[in-house]
Amino acid sequence: MNDVVDRGGAWAVVGAGPHGLSALKNLLELGLDADGFERDTDLGGNWNFHAENSRVYESTHLISTKPFTQFPDFPMPDAYPDYPSHWQVHRYFRSYAEHFGLLDHLAFNSEVVSVTPVAGERWDVTVRDRESGVETTRQYAGVVIANGHNWWPKIPQYPGQDTFTGEIKHSADYKSADVVRGKRVLVVGAGNTGCDVAVESAQNAKETFHSTRRGYYYNPKYAFGRPSDQTADLLLALRLPLALRRVMFKSVLRLTVGDFEKFGLRKPDHEFFETHPIVNQQLVYYVGHGDIQPKPDIDRLDGSTVYFEDGTSAEIDVIVFCTGYLAHFPFLDDSYLNPEGDHPVLARQIFTPATPTLAVSGLIQPDSGQWTIAHWQGMLIATYAALRAQDPVAAQRFYDAIVSETGVRFTGGAEYKDSTRHYYEIAHQEYLRAIERDLQRLESMAPAISGSLAAAR
């Protein structure tokens, strides 16, 4: 192609959700040039409620509190509650972008349609203007992929599903309780979305059934007057071992919520921290009211009847599959992300062994808030990019060392249940410690980046 615009040492950032914004901000902060591309007309990614690929619903609130959820260099306003709503979160991202001057470096309505390698480990990024349809290609020194992993629905198949006469929806289509109002509803899946939808259905539907594969620990948002995630961080700060933390968490649940089995819920078939935490104080409450009827996995469907594995059945108008999402990179040849089956296997969930100038941010599911990690992922990528510009040989040394740890997981000592849901699960403190070590390593390789500081200016 002869009409490729050469962007020199600049990096491209795909997506303007929290991870894209953080990558962009940190690249710029370290003095690199960077362009961000967002397919929607506004930033925020998943948190941009009106966007086509936003998966938040009207009632979405954070399930982790501000201290770990916020960017460490841009705390959320004191006026926000412990668990802000998605509207507040979106406003927060906007003020972050404005404060750090990111809007000048962001192109909206700009869908990245292809990211292809060219000689010298550089990348051609082709972007389609969604209004005019015009495509332009620019060449970059590197690409940060931050297109999210919670937007491409994973829909299960059960025997007889095509005979089902009611409506089948995925939580991706669930924006408000209008979907379930006055109907007989089956919610499938006990992720945090599944539990939110089951609760909202209990408040609005005629009848609500909640089908889950196994029993889970339903954690309260508050226990003993403190947000639960802050207590979890306190126990980690005190360096309590996993076994002790398990005992403490289970006793707190016992004391505050009670025995799940007495509510008719199943006993968890696994240990605490072996599945992604569910934070929902209301689910058990509605089960206690009989407004949510717990059910095991679906066996088969027939007409308007759903049969469950325990032999019971129910008449259903709407099924809402809250069965999660899969990562999806429609603009990139999968092989560059070292796929294993249906998911990429990376080093630190960021670097791919296939190429040194491609980085992924946001392919994580922490047992905590997320954007403190977004910040440090962005900082690690930016520092690495700065080192590449300054000393490619040293950068390659760092890259080789880090990709030799491809596939290493950060589980905090727990063994995650085998499920697509845990592909990107990380124990947040253990993960951040690893990122910090990497950052220290990078900075020691390039003192000018860590800023032999003011003197350098």
CB of 330 to other proteins, least distance (A): 33
Phi, psi of 210 (to 5 degrees): -125, 110
CB of 287 to other proteins, least distance (A): 30
Helices then strands, each counted (H, E), the chain: 11, 28
Q: Among 59, 436, 421, which residue's Cα sits nearest to residue 274?
A: 421
- 338 or 368: CB nearest other proteins: 368
- 176 or 452: CB nearest other proteins: 452
CB of 26 to other proteins, least distance (A): 10
CB of 233 to other proteins, least distance (A): 4
Cβ atoms of residues 72 and 42 within 8 Å = no
- 419 or 444: CB nearest other proteins: 444
Phi, psi of 456 (to 5 degrees): -70, -20
Any bridge partners for residue 11, and if so which?
34, 142
CB of 68 to other proteins, least distance (A): 5
Burial of 224 (0-12, 13-18, 19+ CB in 10 A): exposed
CB of 234 to other proteins, least distance (A): 4
Distance of CA 117 to the CA centre of its chain: 27
Distance of CA 38 to the CA centre of its chain: 17
Instruction: Compute the distance between CA of residue 128 and CA of residue 96 in angstroms, rounded to an integer.
Output: 26
- 126 or 450: CB nearest other proteins: 450
Please spell the DSSP secondary structure of 331-375, one letter per residue: TS-GGGG-EETTEE--BTTTEETTEEEEEE-S--EESS-SHHHHH
Instruction: Compute the distance between CA of residue 219 and CA of residue 213 in angstroms, rounded to an integer.
Output: 18
- Residues within the interface to other proteins (CB under 8 A): 29-30, 65-68, 72-75, 77-78, 95, 98-101, 230-231, 233-234, 236-237, 372, 376, 429, 432-433, 435-436, 439, 450-455, 457
- 323 or 429: CB nearest other proteins: 429
- 289 or 457: CB nearest other proteins: 457
- 97 or 284: CB nearest other proteins: 97
CB of 97 to other proteins, least distance (A): 11
- 118 or 234: CB nearest other proteins: 234
Amino acid at 443: E
CB of 417 to other proteins, least distance (A): 26
129-167 burial: b if 16+ Cβ within 10 Å, else e: eeeeeeeeebbbbbbbbbbbbbbbbbeeebeebeebebe
- 137 or 230: CB nearest other proteins: 230
Any bridge partners for residue 385, and if so which?
none
CB of 322 to other proteins, least distance (A): 29
Residue 5 CB contacts under 8 Å (≥ 6 apart), including other chains? 136, 137, 138, 139
Cβ atoms of residues 93 and 71 within 8 Å = no
